[in-house]
Amino acid sequence: MAGRGWVVLALLGVVQLLRLPLAAPQSFIGINYGDVADNLPPPSSTARLLQSTTISKVRLYGTDPAVVSAFAGTGISLLLGATNGDIANLASSPAAAAAWVAAHIPASSPAVSTVSVGNEVLFADASLASQLVPAMQNLYNALPPNSSIKVSTVHAMDVLASSDPPSSGAFKPELDTALDPVLAFLSKTGSPFLINPYPYFAYLSDPRPETLAFCLFQPNAGRPDAGSGLTYTNMFDAMVDAVRAALDAKGYKDVEIVVAETGWPHKGDPDEAGATAENAHAFVSGLVSHLRSLAGTPRVPGKSVDTYIFAVYDEDLKPGKGSERYFGLFQTSLTEAYPTGLVRNGTAALGPAMAPAQAPTSVQPAPALPKPGQQPQVGVTLQ
């Protein structure tokens, strides 16, 4: 009987471990909190919403005091953004960087894990490239003694000259002058390489059914990489490993990768066939399951890459294609836009009890997901 008792206890322990991902925050799952919109709930409501999920970290694109303070005491850490417009000032003098740190880094809570100096700087404004590392170095030097905060900058996948197959991953040679000092800084300070891989855009460039399945973590034949002998079953791993190969080729095997943005739009323009609620649900839920499996990537197995999913809400004021405005995982009524697998114990987030600051005159129920292969009808709004 004693032996059976130990077996029962062991089985109960396994059950608890299997249940843990549904209830406990996961250190490797984060979310982007964009604010290019005029209908968002108050930051305090958003902080409470995210506490109802297993998300453990939030990336901000700035340092709005109301947003930062809303996360105090939540246990959610922040990746803060020094904007591209801040770079010249941060690079100008150590005093300017010290003033930025004093003004924007909380003394205790919420915890700040990383500061990103700029976003996709090498492509957004090439004139800032020479000032990027001086800005990063000044800001790093201005952090409190023994601080664990990392300092980095976010890159687009366009920094790669080659990514297919993943083992051929290499940075564009014309970026060497700007990128090599960044990589040296990251290695010296133990900071991560922040990258924005979007399988959605890979699908747009190759809109075949088999590519869609590969991008959405759905069953597929797999794609062998002859250079490494590895086989890939999803585009996310392939993109991350292409970056890993590029870093390794430069001699920076010690620099970790953090996915600063990835996501899938649930609506778009008529010519954006892949932007549907069905596909967004498949991608996000598939990504979350993949990260929780701790399988890692074929090149770096056994460890999930820290990943920030884009984004908390739709952003109705963003310019560009329609899909740019529909990456939100949650509606402004504080319910899921579609099932994500992120809400604790399968609950339905917070619901409309916490209304947005500028609530609509009536709250429409969330639409049903389209059937497989069905596109949303024209005129139907997926919130």
In the set 120, 278, 315, 336, the catalytic residue is: 120
Pairing outcome for strands 230-232 and 223-225? antiparallel
Residue 345: the pLDDT is 75
Residue 364: the pLDDT is 33
Mean pLDDT of the residues in the chain:
87
Residue 45: the pLDDT is 98
- Residue 157 burial class via C-beta count within 10 angstroms: exposed 0-12, middle 13-18, buried 19 and up: middle
Interval 253-271 mean pLDDT: 97
Nearest to 218 by CA among 328, 372, 333, 332: 372
Interval 197-215 mean pLDDT: 96
Binned at pLDDT 50, 70 and 90, residue 106 comes out as very high
Confidence check: pLDDT of 377 > 70: no
Q: Is the Cβ–Cβ distance between 286 and 218 less than 8 Å? A: yes
Binned at pLDDT 50, 70 and 90, residue 350 comes out as low
Confidence check: pLDDT of 46 > 50: yes
**Catalytic annotation present for 272:** no
Residue 315: the pLDDT is 98
Confidence check: pLDDT of 179 > 50: yes
Interval 122-136 mean pLDDT: 92
Compute, in degrees rounded to 10, the torsion defined by CA atoms 189, 190, 191, 196.
140
Residue 354: the pLDDT is 41
Largest alpha-carbon pair distance within the chain?
74
DSSP code per residue over 55-77: EEEEEESS--HHHHHHTTTSS-E
Share of the chain above pLDDT 90, in %: 80
Distance CA 69, CA 63 (A): 10
**Catalytic annotation present for 261:** yes
Interval 326-351 mean pLDDT: 86
Binned at pLDDT 50, 70 and 90, residue 264 comes out as very high
Query: Between 86 and 14, where is the model more confident?
Result: 86
- 57 forms bridges with which residues in the sheet? 30, 77
Distance CA 87, CA 280 (A): 34
The ranges assigned to domains in the chain are 29-336
Its sign, for the CA torsion 287, 290, 291, 297, is negative
Distance CA 261, CA 293 (A): 20
The fold of 29-336 is TIM Barrel (3.20.20)
Residue 23: the pLDDT is 52
Q: Tell me which of 23-27, 44-48, 260-264, 324-328 is least confident.
A: 23-27
In the set 256, 261, 278, 336, the catalytic residue is: 261
> Token match 């197995």: residue?
301
Confidence check: pLDDT of 54 > 90: yes
User: Could you report the per-residue pLDDT of 3-25, keeping only the tens digit for each?
Assistant: 444 333 333 333 333 444 445 66
Q: Tell me which of 41-50, 127-136, 353-362 is least confident.
A: 353-362
Residue 361: the pLDDT is 30
Share of the chain above pLDDT 70, in %: 84
